Structure 1
Amino acid sequence: MMWTWHNEIPEHLVVQGGPKTLARVDVTFNNPDAARGGGEFRFDWPVYSDWGIGLTVRESMNSRRVDWVSTGPGNSWGQEAYVDDLLYEIEPRKTYKPGSKHTQKWFEPIERPHLNNNCKLPTREGSRLTLDVPGWGGSDHVGASMDYQGTRQTLTLYQGADRLAQATYNTTVTAQAPRPDRQPYRLVLDADRDASVSPYSSATHTEWAFTSEANATDRPAVLPLIQLDYAIDTDASGKAGRGREDGCFRLPPAGCGRGGHHLLAHRGPLLRRRAHLAAGPPYTRRVLRPGRTARSPLRLASRHRAGQRP
């Protein structure tokens, strides 16, 4: 619970809470390794500070609970959770409306690189490019591996055909842009993990093509790396139901504007389908799953009208 008063000393320091004034968040922790402990915390981010308030505490990572979150002005919330020596996840920073209901799932089996506003965004400052991209995000979470034996990732930045920087295991690459004018760049992330870590998301390959030029000011500018969100309903073991529409993919409008070409292709032994995503928020498209058990690769592509694409 958090409440902020601005330019006033309140006469009453009691704020009434209840289902109509608070937000409800149904939280599920699906620890992929029940033998490991973990912890979490929902950090409060007040508008007057660049720091989140709080400290992670030990909690069961195989549990469900209901959180009631304050919705007053002056702050936002950002939760973080981890499994010991395995995975650290960070949800987007957000505010909640009074009386709203939300669902939050941690350590989902489908994982891939993802960025959000509660972690370091890729930036350019003058000629310096800095891109921090962990490879194991679930849903809308940033996800970084803490198992350096069972998981691997390689992040490479190109300008045209020239390789500017590469990082192995480390999630960050930095490089000097060879020219100040607008030039094409490409960021490539390859990640894989042992079956002992998880039987799902065994390997991912992600590419972002984007353009960049020197900033008009000395302040860092966020690089335009667009991405697709998804929501796929699975049980605690990572299995999805069969024979129904349960795949939902969304291109977030923030940071990339509207308009563009967004293509979804799910290719497998039982399903071969290409679909254009909707042109307006929330840029959503559902996908039919196969009618019997199968594993198949999923390929997602999107191109913004300005030329950026993941």
Structure 2
Amino acid sequence: MLSVRTSQAADLLAQDKRGKELVIDAQGSPRYLYDLVSRHPDRIPNGSLAYAPDPDRDLEKLTTSYHSDRPTTGYGYRYDVPAYGASVGLNLDENYPMVRTEWVDHLEGGGTWLEDHTMWDSRGAQTITGGLLNHTGGKSSTSSWFSPVQHPAVGSAYAGPFRDSNNNLSLTFTPYSDGGAVDRAGLLDTSTSKTAMYQGDTLVAQSANRTVRAQRWPAEALPYRVVMDSARDAADWHTTVRSHSEWGFTSGAIASGAGREPLKLLQPHFGVDTDLAGDVASGHRTELTLSASTQQWLDSTTYADSATLSVSYDDGATWQAVSLDRDGRGAWSADLKLPKKPGGFVSLKATAKAANGLTVEQEVIRAFGLK
């Protein structure tokens, strides 16, 4: 069944009467999208509600890539979040992989956008959620979802690690945050994770999921280490089939009456330019970027002072150290010479350190593929 606008119906009926063949070009999901908001604060409009923004002044043009190594389906939405309350919206069907041109309004009055997308098929449901942000009118930029390197991280979309006034520590991670932005949270309902917390070398808590909690711990500032291992079926998923992460931090009692305070953790973020399937051409050189900092949406950010990077072409059986060039505060890049043989994978292992005992080590098996 096909529905059309009334204004189009007369022409279509006329073509049908003349016996003219009607050709319909249909797509499962659109290759363009407009997200427009016209607010009228403190008044009820009594005139036309027509809204015609100027693309060169009011809208940001996004060229957005939705990655997948196979044709599949899902849904997503970009919610406008007003300063005065929660947003509402309805998910739109999406087909992956695809590249879509999106025109997004710049929000006034403290409003922000919140975006999420879910890939949903027989393998399970993987949801990626971004952080709150606004867009700049007249700007052109790129974005990506489900892109490499997918890895464990803390995103602002979910409750982050914290310590409360009763000296309870709670740390939650999302195992499949993608490479599209630093503030991304990624979950897969068919993956497995196990998490453990250590004080020094002593195991103090563990769980068979992505959250670990230690109850009524000593008030003095002590060094802690959290370890998480995650996996998903390599027969179903092209990249990030296993990961191992370790976060080191120091924590002590918080101020009386504070309720709870977030725990700052170093978070690595990898950048690599792949095709929509998550692959890079074999036998060529490619640039890989590495950055590490604490959660950038908190009141202050600590950036890594040093970092290391190793690569593996045999799923982590052996590793090769890679030279890093410093690009700025907490940011490095590496020039990788990839193997000539296609069909394999590149695994990554990174470490980073910062002041106050902050450390992170992360290993991602099959971070991206070779074609």
Which TM class, normalised by the smaller chain length? 0.7 to 0.9
1:274 maps to what in 2?
323
2:169 matched residue in structure 1: 129
Q: Is 1:262 matched with 2:307?
A: yes
Are the aligned partners of 2:312 and 2:348 in contact in 1 as well (CA < 8 Å)?
A: yes
Q: Residue 245 in 1 paired to residue 286 in 2?
A: yes
Tell me the residue number matched to 2:9: none
Determine if contact 2:287/2:333 at 8 Å carries over to the other structure. Answer: no
- Alpha carbons of 1:239 and 1:189: their partners in 2 closer, same or farther (altered >3 Å)? same
1:98 to 137, 140, 143: 137
Matching residue within 170, 179, 185 for 1:142: 185
Give how far 1:96 is off: 1.8
8 Å CA contact retained: 1:24, 1:99:
yes
Please tell me whether Structure 1 or Structure 2 has the larger radius of gyration of its CA atoms. Answer: 2
Q: What amino acid is aligned across from residue 275 of structure 1 in structure 2?
A: L
Q: 1:229 & 1:235 partners in 2: Cα distance?
A: 19
1:7 deviates by 6.9
2:78 corresponds to 1:75: no
CA contact (8 A) 2:162 2:170 kept: yes
The residue type equivalent to 1:225 in the other structure is L
Task: Give TM-score scaled by structure 2 length.
Answer: 0.73
Distance 1:15 1:120, change over 3 A: farther
The answer to whether 1:25 aligns with 2:62 is yes
Q: Structure 1 residues 46, 290: closer, same or farther in 2, change over 3 A?
A: same
Matched, 1:305 2:355: yes
Letter of the aligned partner of 1:92 in structure 2? Answer: G
Q: Does 1:290 align with 2:327?
A: no
Shift of 1:200: 2.3
Q: Is the 8 A contact 1:113 1:133 kept in 2?
A: yes
For structure 1, list consecutive stretches of 5 or more residues without a partner in the other structure: none
1:166 Cα deviation from its structure 2 partner: 2.0
The one-letter code of the counterpart of 1:179 is P
- 1:95-244 matched pairs, under 5 angstroms: 95-126=134-165, 127-139=167-179, 140=181, 141-147=184-190, 151-168=191-208, 170-216=209-255, 217-242=257-282, 243-244=284-285
Partner of 2:26: none
SS in 2 for 1:43: strand
Q: Is the 8 A contact 2:67 2:278 kept in 1?
A: no
Q: Percent identity?
A: 22
C-alpha RMSD over aligned residues: 2.7
Question: Counterparts of 1:270 and 1:156 in 2: how far apart (Å)?
Answer: 25
The answer (yes or no) to whether the contact 2:64–2:102 under 8 Å persists in 1 is yes
Counterpart contact for 2:210–2:228, Cα < 8 Å? no
Query: Deviation per CA, 1:181-226, whole angstroms, max 9, x where unpaired?
Result: 2111111110122222213222111000011112214232111111
Larger mean Cα displacement after TM superposition, 231-240 or 58-67: 58-67
Aligned residue number for residue 38 of structure 1 = 74
Do the aligned partners of residues 59 and 214 (structure 1) sit closer, same or farther apart at CA in structure 2, a change above 3 Å counting? Answer: same
Q: Deviations over 1:133-181 (max 9, x none)?
A: 121121133111122xxx321121222223232222x322222241112
Q: Determine the C-alpha separation between the residues in 1 that align with 2:68 and 2:91.
A: 17
Offset of residue 91 of structure 1: 1.9
* Residues 1:8 and 1:226: Cα distance change in structure 2 (over 3 Å): farther
Change (3 A) 1:277 1:224: farther
- Where structure 2 has 5 or more consecutive residues not aligned to the other structure, the ranges are 1-35, 361-371
CA distance in 1: counterparts of 2:238 and 2:62, whole angstroms? 29
3-state secondary structure, aligned to 2:280: coil
3-state SS in 2 of match to 1:230: strand
